[in-house]
Chains A and B, each alone.
Chain A
Amino acid sequence: MDKEKRKPTKPTEKMNLSSDSPGISFHLLANEKWQPITIPAFSILLSLIAAAIVILLIGKNPLNAFLNLLQGSGILPKPSYAGYKGILTDFLSLLNAMTPLLFASLAVAVAFKAGLFNIGVSGMMLTAGFTATVAVGYSDLNSFLAKPVVLIIGIGAGAVMGAFVGWLKYRFNINEVVSTIMLNNIAQYVFGFFINAYIVDPVSRQSRYILDSSRLTLVNVEYGGLKMDIPLGFILAIAAAVFLKFFMDKTILGYEIKTVGANRNAAKYAGINVKKNIILAMVISGALAGLAGVTYYLGYFSSIQPKVLSSVGYDAIAVSLLGNSNPVGIVFSSLLISIISKGSTYMSSIAGIDQDIASVITGLILLFSACGEYIKFKIRRLNDRQLERKESEA
């Protein structure tokens, strides 16, 4: 028997769990059917409150700051726009930024379903982005050929790197967290070296801009008096999420990957090829990370800054955790994180809060999401206790 169960629940300030008349929020949280939505929402709420406190502490108005976030990301209209700009411009730009994040988060989620923690998405993105840049970015291939080739190279480069991590894990039992971090660092310096040595632009100190023909975002498209960036990869990212949902829930391969992730011993016992599934999951994860890489370096941007890893790979962990590794949940959580990071520039310029606050909020969301299981556990225990109380009263 669980000895813990007998201890009285300590009152938590976070949610008035131990009060005799739990509020509406508790009833919402207690409903297990809605928990996949209510608990992340609760985590977000907590982190926004925490962020608001941080903002208050540096002497700014948090409500204004949050409003600015929404305005900057094209969800709410700004008071004024420069020429050729409008809310639609901002919104498309949001989707442009969200595309790599969505791919990256799906990459984290697939690995997680197989019980693997892929922290190497950033390194894989860089590998894919660099390979595609060098192979296609400066070539004279026409647009209809160049874009698909970029995608294929991205998928390939990411998948190879993912397979390598999976192989290290299975063959040598190397913790994938450590190996992916090592690969991140190696990728960062190796590609940094090649960029600096061969394709650097002496003025911008970045790699030379790729040609528009290979870029996955159509830039400065004029429509209705506005100049907009249209992210072609966005549709692909949504399609990937839908496909992944189907793949995980409905196919034999998805079932096997999930079994390996939930209990590796039982999977082996049931005759599932654990090695194949670990590598397969990492290949899919790597391929998605590769897509994130090309939509980032050859879509959202058009050059690579040497010796810097994108933060997208880390944000993706937050997104995936928040979305409960469910592709549909991830679409929404990646939208949220994109709003925060995209809107932070505008907020920084209007409210004077450093835009790093965006990553602080993301980190806080991550922190509270990690407590999700505990919240669930607390609620279950409280439910039991209330039931007991009712029984003893009756």
Chain B
Amino acid sequence: MPEYIVEMKLITKKFPGIVANDDITVQIKKGEIFALLGENGAGKSTLMSMLFGMYEPDEGEIWVRGSKVKIDSPNFATKLNIGMVHQHFKLVQNYTIAENIILGVEPMKKLAGIFPYVDIRDAGRRIEKLSKKFGLEVDPDNKIEDVNVSIQQRVEILKMLYREAEILIFDEPTAVLTPQEIEFLLDIIKGLREGGKTIILITHKLEEIKKVADRCAVLCRGKLIDILDVKETSTRRMANLMVGREVNFETVKKPAHRKDVVLKVSHLTVKNQEHFEIVKEVSFSIRGGEIFAIAGVSGNGQVEIADAIAGLTKVSGGTIELNDTDITNYNIRRRTLCGISYIPEDRQNFGLVLDFTLSDNLALKSYFKKNFSPKGILNRGEIDRYGNKLIEKYDIRSGQGVRTLVRSMSGGNQQKVIIAREIELASPFMIFVQPTRGLDIGAIENIHNMILQERDKGKAILLISLELDEIMSISDTIGVIYNGQLQKTAETKSLTPKEVGEFMMGVRHG
């Protein structure tokens, strides 16, 4: 038996404009937990996508179990007993857990010896056996749309195990989980190692690596920096290697100077399309100069709160007051003019018109104002001048200036367009939903600083994020939501992440 189960030798992968992997060599031992550490865009996912057959390397070789292989498709990777849990789950929402697990490798039976059919019962039995063995409890007959993210992740893991995977790749598995769920997942991963599996963990979170990994490869901008023995390396050293410079663990933040109440939400209730109360009797208020963050597991009503305040969703009960004006029944435009800025979660489908130019997107909420369109006729020159001003002020990078189609811009710059537009509205109240999702560390820092700057100008800010780290580091007050209800509202300083996690899961009540 060779020493290494997987060897990737001198791997280079280029995409138009960037070298995603540059001469990377990693060797992974059977039965270890091997971590890949690096910022977003460092090339971790690309490297593992090649091991899983989604891309092929431009240069270099992949060896599995001592023989050289050419992995040209996920199917072949599966044959080599390699499995991968992607960052975005690949599940069919209206299928049961069992149907999802067997998709692609369906067990068949024949009716009357002629008509083949999918034997879902046999699948169910096998799944139950597997889930008992590895402590991954699921009900195979539940539909995906009815179970939470943590269960969905278990389904993804079961999918690999059902295909008899021996080498398991996890791509940022903890990004969407609560601290408690993370603990649980890390235990499962350790259990898998005990069961003889080899695990590759892609992450940018140092604590996780410290907790479970045996060895860790640090990647930075497509290059392999070092391979470390986790037990013998300090977290700080790993962090410095990852970013390639000294890192501030804490965002520099002045203490909050709270002023008068700007936004007051009382007994807010929102129903979804199925008339289910997704937000129940939620009350809170935000003062000028304060960042109020709503923490919670995805799908517990936090986005609906933001939409209800901005006017995108109908309110079925309660009131919303902005600077002592009741805006509950105002339409969206009127609320914007009253002073609400909104950075939405889904920037491509809500925040931007991708097929419009940069200047049109920057004017999306002000094109109708006197200076841009006197007498109902658009003044293109003025709109472009305004666009150029914002491009400079917010350092928005684009190919063809104001004429660039936003579709062709990078995610970070698209987000800058939205934030620039919303800040320029000069609203006393701003909503940020998942403002840093999918951005790299540089961009994240930049956006955090912008949010803090706005706070220090005296604005009231509502921050909704699934990243607990983000909430802990920049917010002044935290409201934890579970099942549509605020469980706890307190000063950020007075709470630990673990406590917040308990409220998020509904196991503790304030």
Chain A residues engaging chain B, CB cutoff 8 angstroms: 1, 3, 5-6, 249-253, 255, 258-259, 262-263, 265-273, 384, 388
B364, A266: Cβ atoms under 8 Å? yes
Interface status of B83 (Cβ within 8 A of chain A): no
- The answer to whether residues A263 and B354 also contact, given A6-B55, A271-B333 and a CB cut-off of 8 A, is yes
Interface status of B377 (Cβ within 8 A of chain A): yes
Max count, chain A CB within 10 A of own CB: residue among B16, B349, B378, B380: B16
Q: How far is the CB of B229 from chain A (nearest CB, A)?
A: 32
Indicate with 1 or 0, residue by residue over B158-185, a CB within 8 angstroms of chain A CB atoms. Answer: 0000000000000000000000000000
A388, B16: Cβ atoms under 8 Å? yes
**Complex Cα spacing A269 to B376, Å:** 21
A259, B54: Cβ atoms under 8 Å? no
Interface status of B410 (Cβ within 8 A of chain A): no
Partner of A3, one of B54, B332, B352, B373: B54
A266, B368: Cβ atoms under 8 Å? no
Across-interface contacts of A6 in B (CB, < 8 A): 55-56
**Complex Cα spacing A384 to B17, Å:** 10
Interface residues of B in 288-343 (CB under 8 A from A): 310, 312, 331-336, 342
- The answer to whether residues A268 and B364 also contact, given A1-B15, A3-B54, A251-B378 and a CB cut-off of 8 A, is no
A262, B332: Cβ atoms under 8 Å? no
Interface status of B4 (Cβ within 8 A of chain A): no
Indicate with 1 or 0, residue by residue over B367-410, a CB within 8 angstroms of chain A CB atoms. Answer: 11000010011101000000000000000000000000000000
Interface status of B441 (Cβ within 8 A of chain A): no
Across-interface contacts of A259 in B (CB, < 8 A): 353, 356, 364
Query: Which residue on A lies nearest to B360, using beta carbons?
Result: A255
Interface status of B350 (Cβ within 8 A of chain A): yes
Q: How far is the CB of A166 from chain B (nearest CB, A)?
A: 19
Max count, chain A CB within 10 A of own CB: residue among B336, B353, B365: B353
Across-interface contacts of B364 in A (CB, < 8 A): 259, 266, 270
Describe A's contact surface by its main secondary structure: helix
**Complex Cα spacing A271 to B335, Å:** 9
Partner of B350, one of A3, A250, A251, A265: A265
Query: Which residue on B lies nearest to A274, using beta carbons?
Result: B332
Across-interface contacts of B55 in A (CB, < 8 A): 1, 3, 6
Partner of B376, one of A249, A251, A384, A388: A251
Q: How many residues of B contact A (CB 8 A)?
A: 36
A252, B365: Cβ atoms under 8 Å? no
B351, A269: Cβ atoms under 8 Å? yes
Partner of B342, one of A258, A267, A269: A269
**Complex Cα spacing A268 to B55, Å:** 39
B376, A268: Cβ atoms under 8 Å? no
B367, A252: Cβ atoms under 8 Å? yes
A253, B376: Cβ atoms under 8 Å? yes
Across-interface contacts of A270 in B (CB, < 8 A): 332, 364-365
Partner of A265, one of B15, B16, B310, B349: B349
Partner of A269, one of B312, B331, B373, B380: B312
Across-interface contacts of A258 in B (CB, < 8 A): 356
Across-interface contacts of B20 in A (CB, < 8 A): 1
**Complex Cα spacing A225 to B321, Å:** 79
Q: How far is the CB of A278 from chain B (nearest CB, A)?
A: 16
A262, B353: Cβ atoms under 8 Å? yes
Q: How far is the CB of B35 from chain A (nearest CB, A)?
A: 23
Can you name 23 A-B pairs with beta carbons within 8 Å? A1-B15, A1-B55, A3-B54, A5-B15, A6-B55, A250-B377, A251-B378, A252-B367, A252-B377, A255-B367, A255-B378, A258-B356, A259-B364, A265-B349, A266-B352, A269-B310, A270-B332, A270-B365, A271-B331, A271-B332, A271-B334, A384-B16, A388-B16
Interface status of B435 (Cβ within 8 A of chain A): no
B332, A268: Cβ atoms under 8 Å? yes
Q: How far is the CB of B322 from chain A (nearest CB, A)?
A: 15
Interface status of B440 (Cβ within 8 A of chain A): no
Across-interface contacts of A3 in B (CB, < 8 A): 54-55
9 shortest A-B CB distances, which residue pairs?
A: A271-B333, A271-B332, A263-B353, A270-B364, A269-B350, A262-B353, A265-B350, A266-B353, A1-B15
Q: How far is the CB of B369 from chain A (nearest CB, A)?
A: 10
Q: A5-B15, A263-B349 are in contact. List 17 more A-B contacts (CB 8 A).
A: A1-B20, A1-B46, A3-B55, A6-B56, A251-B377, A251-B378, A259-B364, A262-B355, A262-B356, A265-B346, A269-B332, A269-B350, A271-B333, A272-B333, A273-B333, A384-B16, A388-B16
Across-interface contacts of A271 in B (CB, < 8 A): 331-336, 365
Across-interface contacts of A250 in B (CB, < 8 A): 377-378, 380
Across-interface contacts of B342 in A (CB, < 8 A): 269
**Complex Cα spacing A250 to B346, Å:** 29
Across-interface contacts of B54 in A (CB, < 8 A): 3
Across-interface contacts of B350 in A (CB, < 8 A): 265-266, 269
**Complex Cα spacing A258 to B360, Å:** 11
